[in-house]
Structure 1
């Protein structure tokens, strides 16, 4: 069962209006979506997901609440174009949960898990051609090292890349996990399962996640109404740094503090963390961070 991470915090952060328009860029199994839809009586909800199974399961779940929604099967980087087709040019709130959903992790045939045996797939969108198998078995050492460094904090990336190339073909998730473990010193393996970061790096490459994240950050602030809110849940340092830097650039003062000029604040940001109770009930929430940006127009001296 998929448990939505930081649900209470997300709902409070979005400051939901009953007639508002809200977007979920990572619909999953409609955990956040269900709660948002229940809160809007005369508003509208639009959910996006690359996984057609998520769309189909969420459709039946949300229909039991009300019909004030549209679900769209596509990469979230295309969300603005899809909204324009619906005649929507601005929204009150946007949520993006960047974690992999529990059903995807728990299904061995999807290839996301380093602890369950399955084919090296890792595609969010089952219709795309690039699979994890292609990356593991055909990419050069240089390209593997590049994604290990840029997509995750992989320990000794060159050593891991060499081991992968030497053991090709690698067809299953457990085969890859074992190759990674065998390539590293025992002290590193004891500290943390190295499969986690290697699988993360490959999954991000398969689904082009970081490029898509850059796009949705830029498009989100342009489509938010005044007082609109963007809430993003991150789970690892790479994506979190991207969000933190983007938000930071928006709130950074552009005026010399020595000058007697009143600056207009355009954005407010805050960061929230899961409670100890939530972490104890849902272990997958322990690395989560909720970064919230509100689009405002006000004077610093108000």
Structure 2
């Protein structure tokens, strides 16, 4: 049964699902089940013979699972999509959707440690089975590692100063809660405190869950797992993710692309873009759900 206390406003719902060009009897993947909004919309578009395989490594997500025989839940990170599709006898599928946003439920559950609005433990693990927490990152990473993390993943303006401040002060205070971290950071915050903290928390969350590594694994495996003509629909929420998705959809790699003597690309990318520019939420959607503001949807199709 769905849990009525578990809520999440799904972003770019119709656009992302329409981007899959669903066939009634097709096999589809919701790589990030989350609040279940995209899964429900996909199921609405499928016929009796259709199938949906949904991934989510966050155990809380499955509290909202619809009772539907066409839905196969997989409690794993989407970075293992190829392995588990093969395991379930579906090595190739007709379409894959991924919404890379953190669900409202995760943000609004204090004990998960994702939000700057509530006190709670410095956790930030999407999957409780992994060991690394935000607290461990803050207490054990070197100044150089923290600097790189805050600069790359949070685009924090004074990331070098921030890293030095943490290393200098982390043994002087009990750094194990959201409030203790906020208190420690208060003297060196730049600009809007909420924005600054949001960037710091984003960097920690990405590091704890290896989100960039997982996204790269997912994109490569998703392309391999699509049938020719199959669609990949991906919603991103910050520029780091969007750049990775855009580059992979256009070039099929993150490395330098090989060219011939005339500058032509020698290997054709696996995917071709369906949308030249990302699809953005409407003003009405942003008004109804401010968290949608930074969402970008990119759609690609596997070359025939």
Verify same fold: TM over 0.5: yes
Does residue 173 of structure 2 align to residue 171 of structure 1? Answer: no
Q: Deviations over 1:239-289 (max 9, x none)?
A: 111111112214999678899xxx999623312110110000001000000
**Alignment counterpart, residue 114 of structure 1, candidates 94, 116, 121:** 116
Deviation at residue 84 of structure 1 after TM alignment? 0.8
Which residue number corresponds to residue 3 of structure 2? Answer: none
Structure 2 alignment gaps of length 5 or more: 1-6
Number of residues of Structure 1 aligned to a counterpart in Structure 2: 286
TM-score by length of 2: 0.88
Q: Deviations over 1:178-228 (max 9, x none)?
A: 33342134xx236x6201111001101110110010111111111111111
Which residue number corresponds to residue 157 of structure 1? Answer: 159
Structure 1 alignment gaps of length 5 or more: 298-302
Supply the distance in 2 between the matched residues of 1:247 and 1:265 (Cα, whole angstroms): 8
Deviation at residue 29 of structure 1 after TM alignment? 1.6
Does residue 221 of structure 2 align to residue 219 of structure 1? Answer: yes
TM-score by length of 1: 0.88
Q: Deviations over 1:110-147 (max 9, x none)?
A: 00001211110000011221111101112111111111
Deviation at residue 97 of structure 1 after TM alignment? 0.6
Supply the distance in 2 between the matched residues of 1:258 and 1:82 (Cα, whole angstroms): 39
Which residue number corresponds to residue 147 of structure 2? Answer: 145
Supply the distance in 1 between the matched residues of 2:56 and 2:156 (Cα, whole angstroms): 28
SS in 2 for 1:87: coil
Supply the distance in 1 between the matched residues of 2:83 and 2:246 (Cα, whole angstroms): 25
Structure with bigger helix share is 1
RMSD: 2.2
Supply the distance in 1 between the matched residues of 2:73 and 2:126 (Cα, whole angstroms): 16
**Alignment counterpart, residue 292 of structure 2, candidates 268, 276, 285:** 285
Supply the distance in 2 between the matched residues of 1:126 and 1:292 (Cα, whole angstroms): 31
Which residue number corresponds to residue 45 of structure 2? Answer: 39
